[in-house]
Every structure is written in C-alpha cells, then in structure tokens.
C-alpha cells in the first residue's frame, strides 16, 4: 500500500514519512518535491532505516507515481518573504496548491484515493481541494486542528503533571487565530478538568495562549514544526487505511453541524474507510458554538478575498465545475446531494 507525499522534501513531509515508517503502516512511500535533491536525501535516509522498520520502500517519484497511491498527502508550501502580507502569502500558496491539484488531476488522480491536505492555510486549501480535485468531499481531509489539539492536550498535561494520553481536550474551528478551545468537555482520566486540583482560569488562559502560539514559537526556534505534525499525519493516514474510525478534529466540508455549511473547518469527525464517516455534533457551551461560527466566518472572509483575486484566473475544467456533496447525518439519514455550479461558489455563501 502506497502513500505519496507532495512536498516530501520539506520539514513536514519528511517528518510524516518518518512517522509512517516507524509505525510500519505502509509498504511504499513516494516523495514528490520541487527540490529533487532534498527528496532524494530523505528517501535515501529512510531506506537506510528500512531494515529495522518492516522494510518499507521509499523513493522519489513523479505525479504519475503519486496518483497510484491509496493516500496522497500534500505538504508543499511556500514560506513568507520579508515584508510580505499574510494575504499575499495565502495567495501564493493558493496558486501553488491549485497547480498541484491540476497536476494530480492531469496525472489521473483516482476517485478512490484519499487526499490529506496539510499545507497552510489548511482550511482554505481543503475547501479548494474539495472543489477542484474531483474526489468526493468525504475523501478530502485537511489536518485542521488535529495538531493544535495534540499541543493542547500535551500542554494541559504538562501543567498539571499527568501523562498526556490521560488528558482529553479538543480544539475546533479554524487552524489559525480563531481556533476554539473546548473547555466544556476537557477531562483528565474521566475527571472534568475544571474540577482538577489546582486548575484555574489563569492556567486555562496560559495553556491556551501557549497552544495558539506554538506554531510561531517553533518557527522562531527551529524553523517550523516537524515531529508532531508528522505524527498527526500518521494518525489520519492510519485511521483511513486501517478503517480505525478514530474521532479526529480534522477539517472537512461542513454539512450543517453547529449551523455551519460550505466551508471547511474542524469538528469531531469519525475517519475510516471511505474517509469521513460522520461529523459529530457534540454538546458545546454557547460561547464555544459562537466561537465556531466566528471561525467559519473568518474562513469565508478569507475565501472571498482569495477567490476574487485568484480563482477567476484558474477556471476548472467543465467536468469539475460541480461538486456533489452527500453524506450520512448523525441520525443515520442520508443527506441530500447538492450540485453547486462553479459560478455560485466564487462568492462563498451558505447553501
């Protein structure tokens, strides 16, 4: 079983390849990168470790080889230039991402593959992948707030000095400034976090701030995140290919949970064979629900900015001008397939 990583020569892509290798989950990893030397270096080093990790084959490949994969992970991205605005960086990354999607489709991306979007802005790019990849929306999964959630759990655990795997807590919404900490459901080994001895509002404020700043802190200290995001990617891939039905805060096309539609962001999502099995509506406080709706609005605003500037110049082929969104709701009812003409989504709106 093959996983391909577009951007596999970079920090995130190579860390994901290493995490997958250590887990012994896949038999082949294909690294595709605009910098072939970096990809080749990582492929060679992973090959050196293969004798102790189940013999996984790693190689540098083409888009044609990438599309012959069960899972295609996209981690290719551009870094911010000095003086560059956030929106300019977003627009450059959108252009790059649309080019990669076009290359994948030209190479014959299969409807039975999964697309895992990691590059930032991840929620925006996941939305574009749903629209442009030709895959059913359930098979397009953005990493969303999974990494933020991992950081959050680990930082809470460090603060109260318990093992991180005994802390349950979630970050939902946007992978970005408007991310929403779900304090109402946070617990330690079954005990509500707000009843944990010594836990107070100051701890809450500090831990969330550390979580929100974690990406920027790593960028300053070591040039970006690698190990933890690699593990997050492994978690998604494992759930998909092993049909593990893990409940993960990943970014997917929203179908109405918390009244949010037509935007990709993270809610608790059951991930398994076929991709998204269910977007789960858990009880949240009124403040948390407001936070999620705010995240959705922030993402819609970004989409309207980039769609006006970029997508008009990149018309999708006629066959890709529609997206059929269908799925199964929590109460087991089949949700209605929607067909959205391309012209209708150039200005984002709730459908």
Ligand X SMILES: NC(=O)c1ccc[n+]([C@@H]2O[C@H](COP(=O)([O-])OP(=O)(O)OC[C@H]3O[C@@H](n4cnc5c(N)ncnc54)[C@H](O)[C@@H]3O)[C@@H](O)[C@H]2O)c1
Q: How far is the CB of 121 from ligand X (least distance, A)?
A: 8
Selected from 5, 12, 207, 260, the binder of ligand X by CB under 6 A is 12
Among 2, 175, 234, 277, binds ligand X (CB under 6 A): 175
For residue 222, the tally of other CB atoms under 10 A from its CB is 11
Among 46, 76, 260, 299, binds ligand X (CB under 6 A): 76
Contact 248/143 with Cβ under 8 angstroms?
Answer: no
Report the site for ligand X in 145-174 (rule: CB under 6 A).
147
Residue 6 is a binding residue for ligand X (CB under 6 A) = yes
Peptide bond before 330: cis, by omega within 30 degrees of 0? Answer: no
Out of 5, 29, 38, 257, the residue judged to bind ligand X by CB under 6 A:
38
Residue of 115, 122, 263, 306 that binds ligand X (CB under 6 A):
122
Stretch that binds ligand X, among 27-35, 48-56, 185-193, 279-287 (CB under 6 A): 27-35
- Backbone φ/ψ region at 85: left (φ over 0), alpha (ψ -120 to 50), beta: beta
Closest by CA to 99, choosing from 132, 66, 58, is: 132
Q: Could you give the 3-state DSSP secondary structure of residue 167? A: strand
DSSP 8-state secondary structure symbol assigned to residue 224: S
Shortest distance in whole angstroms from residue 118 CB to ligand X = 5
Report which residue's Cβ sits closest to ligand X. Answer: 10
Q: Give the x-and-dash track for 261-300 against ligand X (CB under 6 A).
A: ----------------------------------------
Question: Half-sphere exposure of residue 197, counting CA atoms within 13 Å on the CB side?
Answer: 2
- Residues 287, 298 contacting (CB under 8 angstroms): no
**Pick from 242, 232, 236: which is nearest to 140 by CA?**
236
Counting every residue, how long is the chain? 351
**Choices 51-59, 118-126, 178-186, 262-270 (CB under 6 A): range interacting with ligand X:** 118-126
Residue 11 binds ligand X, judged by CB under 6 A: yes
The question of whether 48 is a catalytic residue gets the answer: no
Give least dist CB 108 to ligand X, A: 17
Name which position in 61, 77, 181, 275 contacts ligand X (CB under 6 A): 77
Count of residues in contact with ligand X, rule CB under 6 A? 28
49: which residues sit within 8 A by CB, 6+ positions away?
21
96 binds ligand X (CB under 6 A): yes
Should residue 32 be labelled a site residue for ligand X when binding is judged by CB under 6 A? yes
Q: Contact between 69 and ligand X (CB under 6 A)?
A: no
**One of 7, 173, 291, 327 touching ligand X (CB under 6 A):** 7
Q: Return the range that interacts with ligand X (CB under 6 A); candidates 23-31, 32-40, 183-191, 282-290.
A: 32-40
Which of 2, 3, 4, 10 lies at the binding interface for ligand X (CB under 6 A)? Answer: 10
The yes or no reply on residue 87 touching ligand X (CB under 6 A) is no
Q: Of 74-82, 180-188, 196-204, 308-316, which segment contacts ligand X by CB under 6 A?
A: 74-82
Residues belonging to the active site: 175
Which residues are near ligand X by CB under 6 A? 6-7, 9-13, 32-35, 38, 75-77, 79, 96, 100, 118-120, 122, 143, 147, 175, 224-225, 229
């Amino acid at each position: 079983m093959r996983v391909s990583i577009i951007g596999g020569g970079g920090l995130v892509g190579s860390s994901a390849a290493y995490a997958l290798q250590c887990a012994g989950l896949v038999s082949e990893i294909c690294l595709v990168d605009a910098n072939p030397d970096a990809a080749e270096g990582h492929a060679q080093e992973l090959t050196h470790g293969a004798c102790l990790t189940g013999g996984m084959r790693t190689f540098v490949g083409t888009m044609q080889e990438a599309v012959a994969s069960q899972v295609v992970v996209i981690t290719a991205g551009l870094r911010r230039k000095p003086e560059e605005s956030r929106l300019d960086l977003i627009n450059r990354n959108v252009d790059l991402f649309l080019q990669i999607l076009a290359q994948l489709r030209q190479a014959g991306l299969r409807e039975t593959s999964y697309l895992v979007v990691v590059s930032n802005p991840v929620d925006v790019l996941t939305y574009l992948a749903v629209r442009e990849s030709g895959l059913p929306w359930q098979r397009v999964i953005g990493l969303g707030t999974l990494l933020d959630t991992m950081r959050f759990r680990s930082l809470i655990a460090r603060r109260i000095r318990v093992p991180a795997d005994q802390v349950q807590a979630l970050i939902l919404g946007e992978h970005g400034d408007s991310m929403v900490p779900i304090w109402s459901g946070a617990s330690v080994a079954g005990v509500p976090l707000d009843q944990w001895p010594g836990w107070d509002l100051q701890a809450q404020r500090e831990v969330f701030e550390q979580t929100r700043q974690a990406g920027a802190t790593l960028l300053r200290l070591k040039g970006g995140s690698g190990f933890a995001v690699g593990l997050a990617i492994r978690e998604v891939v494992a759930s998909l290919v092993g049909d593990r039905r893990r409940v993960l805060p990943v970014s997917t096309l929203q179908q109405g949970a918390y009244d949010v539609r037509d935007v990709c962001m993270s809610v608790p999502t059951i991930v398994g064979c076929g991709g998204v099995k269910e977007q789960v509506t858990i009880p949240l406080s009124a403040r948390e629900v407001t936070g999620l709706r705010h995240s959705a609005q922030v993402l819609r605003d970004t989409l309207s900015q980039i769609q006006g500037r970029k997508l008009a110049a990149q018309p999708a082929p006629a066959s890709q001008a529609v997206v059929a969104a269908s799925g199964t709701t929590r109460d087991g009812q089949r949700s209605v397939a929607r067909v959205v003409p391309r012209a209708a989504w150039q200005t984002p709106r709730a459908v």
